Amino acid sequence: MYDFFELVCRRRDGPATGCCWPVLSDRPDSLKNEVQLFLAHGPKIASYPVMLISPHAGYVFSGPVAGKGYSTINKNIKTVIIIGPSHHVGFYGLCITDVDYYQTPLGNVPLEQTIISKLRKSPLVHVIHPADDTEHSIEVQVPFLQESLSSFSIVPIITGEVDPAEAADLVCPFVNETTLLVASSDLSHYHSSTEAKAIDAQTIHAILSGDADGPIDACGKTAIRVVMQCAKRLNLAPELLDARNSFETAPQYGSADRVVGYASIAYLKKK
């Protein structure tokens, strides 16, 4: 069921690595059409978002929710900082890969080396190849950006054990009118649909209320808390665009007894 695209990070010093799913990389039109469909029915909001929280599961499950957020972004964005969790490797601090670009069937996306060079001055920032080789939380966001923006670069950040406030201190200074910050995260995992809705409602309430210490049941909870910290610094207000779980988006592929939750949340400048 994860049959939408293959993503490859090409290292300066070696062969292609970092496939996130064994999929149809020779059919870029299928990916393009799929993403465009998800982007076609976006909500109307008061202004362009400065930051997003976006899910990162297989597109058949989370794509409809992710599309709600990406459909609202400013088409003139030039840089996107994407923060996502490490699903496979534990470490302390933040991981930023040393590749030159991310490659999808839709083309190559360069890394924003100026910002990355500045971030690397922090002792919190490391290159950890086992963490970025197979990590999908960053990769899944890239095709949405490719279909939403004409020319852009990315800063991919994978979180380990780190204080969200310290991470926000590093990242927030780079967020501006042409630089979007995205937290990549799914919500609760493997509960019944009814249970998941209750758990996810608590998480979403904590996010929308700006409760930095509130309950957040999410694989990317650190990335979410970084965004929440940045929202306080930048005087931004969160707005819920969509929230559903995998049974609600794709009932044909599973049951209501074991689902994953998703939310798309935009952060806007306060009036």
In a domain, 104, yes or no: yes
Cα–Cα distance measured from residue 162 to residue 182, given in angstroms and rounded to the nearest whole number? 17
- How many domains is the chain built from? 1
Domain that holds residue 43: 8-269
pLDDT digits 0-9 by tens, 98-142:
999 999 999 999 999 999 999 999 999 999 988 888 889 999 999
pLDDT digits (tens, 9 = 90+) for 9-64: 333 333 323 334 334 456 889 999 999 999 998 899 999 999 999 999 999 999 99
Which of 237, 261, 84, 236 has its CA nearest to residue 158?
84
Asked whether residue 209 is assigned to any structural domain, the reply reads yes
What are the tokens at 29? 């039109």
Residue 246 Rama label (left phi>0; alpha psi -120 to 50; beta): alpha
77 domain-assigned: yes
Is residue 72, in this structure, part of any structural domain at all? yes
Residue 2 lies in a domain: no
Domain harbouring 135, CATH code = 3.40.830.10
- Residue 116 has which token pair? 């990355």
Q: Is residue 1 part of a domain?
A: no
Q: Which helix (H) or strand (E) holds 205?
A: helix 193-209
The reply to whether 3 falls in a domain is no
